[in-house]
Structure 1
Amino acid sequence: MSKRTKVRFIINPTSGPKSRVDVTARIQQHLNHQKFEYELVYTEYAGHAPKLAREAANAGVEVVVAVGGDGTVNEVARGLLNTDTALAILPKGSGNGLARHLKVPMNIDGALRVLNQENITTIDSGEINGLPFFTTAGIGFDAYISSVFAGNQKRGLQTYVELVMKEVRNYTHLPVKASINGNSLETDCYVMAFANAAQYGNNAYIAPLADIRDGLLDVCLVRRMDLVKALDISYCMLTKQLANASSAEYFKTAEQVTVETEEEMMFHVDGDYMGKARKFEVRMRPLSLRVLVP
């Protein structure tokens, strides 16, 4: 009998909307047990998953599966950066941005079938102020919404859009100095999003032309916002048309982007609010993460 692939499932027991899906039972039923030798471990606190993932990689585990939402995926992927261990995703969150970009099915059974295929590719990752991201990072209004969204009991795209419409009048653009492709830019900034993948999650496309394997950072700048622009941008994000919208400007770069502000600005990483800073350094890490895809 050929050697079975070692797999560690890292499960966030609090991730995503309430669900009656018994993940353990689905794994038992749909995982190919002739191909895989597996174990289940559970996160016990925020920041636990990177340690569990790195331990698995150091022990020679070939695949580590993130069972949870974008925050769980980010933590597991962080622990696997620049290793030979591949990331797989069983999406169980409200946004599932990386899973959607990679076209991983949104149901557990379908995602397990992807795992069974063992089709591995390598993707880029990004980094903002030393913090890795795999879909998007950003400063300004989207980070503010992330901070508000984190404390909201309701999840999902409808809640996110409702929060945007409610809060758009309460947030003020700030002046920034940016260096992009070696060019200096002084501008108002309502949102500056840094995209490795095309979407935030929930099929809301902030950078519809982003390629997760091209080594390039897609930068989306919205200088000012009002309710009319917010409605336009929301519609364009949901229809993959934001790259053509007059409300947003796009840049692509393989170089580090630096942004400086006089006032502290909020920032997020893969949808999780990280805090505030006055200087941001953003760069790409080309082909730094192995992942399982359909």
Structure 2
Amino acid sequence: MRALLVVNPAATTTSARVRDVISTALASDLKLDVATTEYRGHARDLARRAAEGGEVGLVVALGGDGTVNEVVNGLLHHGPDPEALPQLAVVPGGSTNVFARALGLPNDAVEATGALLDAMREGASRTVGLGLVSGTPGTEDEGVPPRWFTFCAGLGFDAGVVGRVEQQRELGKRSTHALYLRQVARQFLADPHRRHGTISLQRPDGEPVSGLAMAIICNTSPWTYLGNRPVYASPGASFDTALDLLGVTKMSMASATRYSAQLLRSTPERGPHGKNALALHDLTDFTLQSQAALPFQVDGDHLGLRTSATFTGVRRALRVIV
């Protein structure tokens, strides 16, 4: 099989030597081409060309969740077609690697490569569902290009934290869980909308919900990891269903402390809950609109401020080696 290995040289947890070991191992079983990303969006462009060329049967993403997201968006540029598009494989190289770990892969890049080679020799793969977010018709965000996501998106508080972390990384700070927790505290103190939510949820088959201060959309579970600890915002989310949503209508000091503790104690059976929490499962189509422009993120990538976003859960969108 001809394959393309897309390498992010800035991946947090791999070195040049490790990347050489991985490419050598993959080349022993594949007709391998290796491409190193050089700019933001380059992984997307490389994957799109691989999908359009028709000769590549597998694209391997070596990097963090941002690299994986770009590769997925490149593969699905013309829409999902699991039987015709190249398959996807992921070698975790970032600080968190939610998508790879949610697939059950080891969090070590070399171990994950070994697991992928075993899966390829056995012909093991699965088709996963993905999320798609696009601009909402009739709003100022109508023309925003659609974006696929693999594990989560967020509007409001959670996305504000992601934006703060990105700012710190641009200043040279390492992406660590301690850095993330500091930005959670800073976002809480600075967020003007956490007490009186501005987000409303609209869906074709349910009553509208208003007054959300934060909305987290999950395509799988766990939502993220703190070190080796999985965190479950929507425990029922799965690659085999559509999208789950966790909304919070009020974030006072007491409620924020309570929900933070619930997240840290969350399990595959139980996530955050309470009178100010909204948990919805297996949503195929819905729209979030906000009275104020709020931070927005997709797969941990901060995309600026948005007042609206329309979401679609697409089952069986892409075939993945695992």
After TM superposition, the score normalised by the length of structure 2 is 0.82
Q: Which residue of 1 aligns with 2:5?
A: 9
Runs (5+) with no aligned partner, structure 1: none
Alpha-carbon distance, 1:98 to partner: 0.5
Q: Deviations over 1:160-216 (max 9, x none)?
A: 1222123212212332332135223342222101111113432332212211112x2
Is the deviation greater in 144-153 or in 174-183? 174-183
Structure 1 position 175 matched with structure 2 position 175: no
Contact 1:65/1:90, CA 8 A, preserved across alignment:
yes
Q: Which residue of 1 aligns with 2:210?
A: 187
Alpha-carbon distance, 1:20 to partner: 4.1
Contact 2:157/2:187, CA 8 A, preserved across alignment:
no
Structure 1 position 39 matched with structure 2 position 33: yes
Residues 1-294 of structure 1 mapped to structure 2, 5 A cutoff: 5-17=1-13, 19-20=14-15, 22-28=17-23, 30-31=25-26, 33=28, 35-59=29-53, 60-81=55-76, 82-83=80-81, 84-116=85-117, 117-118=119-120, 119-129=124-134, 130-152=146-168, 153-171=173-191, 172-173=193-194, 174-180=197-203, 182-202=205-225, 203-214=230-241, 216-241=242-267, 243=271, 245-246=273-274, 248-293=277-322
Alpha-carbon distance, 1:51 to partner: 1.3
Cα distance between partner residues in 1 of 2:67 and 2:26: 21
Alpha-carbon distance, 1:113 to partner: 1.4
Cα gap change, 1:166 to 1:47, in 2 (>3 Å): same
Alpha-carbon distance, 1:259 to partner: 1.8
- Secondary structure of the corresponding residue to residue 40 of structure 2: coil
| Residue identity matched to 1:125 | L
Cα gap change, 1:23 to 1:223, in 2 (>3 Å): same
Cα gap change, 1:186 to 1:213, in 2 (>3 Å): closer
Contact 1:78/1:132, CA 8 A, preserved across alignment:
yes
| Residue identity matched to 2:40 | A
Cα gap change, 1:231 to 1:16, in 2 (>3 Å): farther
Alpha-carbon distance, 1:290 to partner: 1.1
- Secondary structure of the corresponding residue to residue 271 of structure 2: helix
- Secondary structure of the corresponding residue to residue 217 of structure 2: strand
Contact 2:132/2:312, CA 8 A, preserved across alignment:
yes
Contact 1:169/1:227, CA 8 A, preserved across alignment:
no
Alpha-carbon distance, 1:275 to partner: 1.6
Cα gap change, 1:255 to 1:27, in 2 (>3 Å): closer
- Secondary structure of the corresponding residue to residue 199 of structure 1: coil
- Secondary structure of the corresponding residue to residue 207 of structure 1: coil
Alpha-carbon distance, 1:243 to partner: 2.5
Alpha-carbon distance, 1:126 to partner: 0.6
Report runs of 4+ in structure 1 exceeding 6 Å deviation: none
Task: Kindly report the root-mean-square deviation, in angstroms, between the aligned alpha carbons of the 2 structures.
Answer: 2.0
Cα distance between partner residues in 1 of 2:243 and 2:238: 9
Cα distance between partner residues in 2 of 1:279 and 1:244: 24
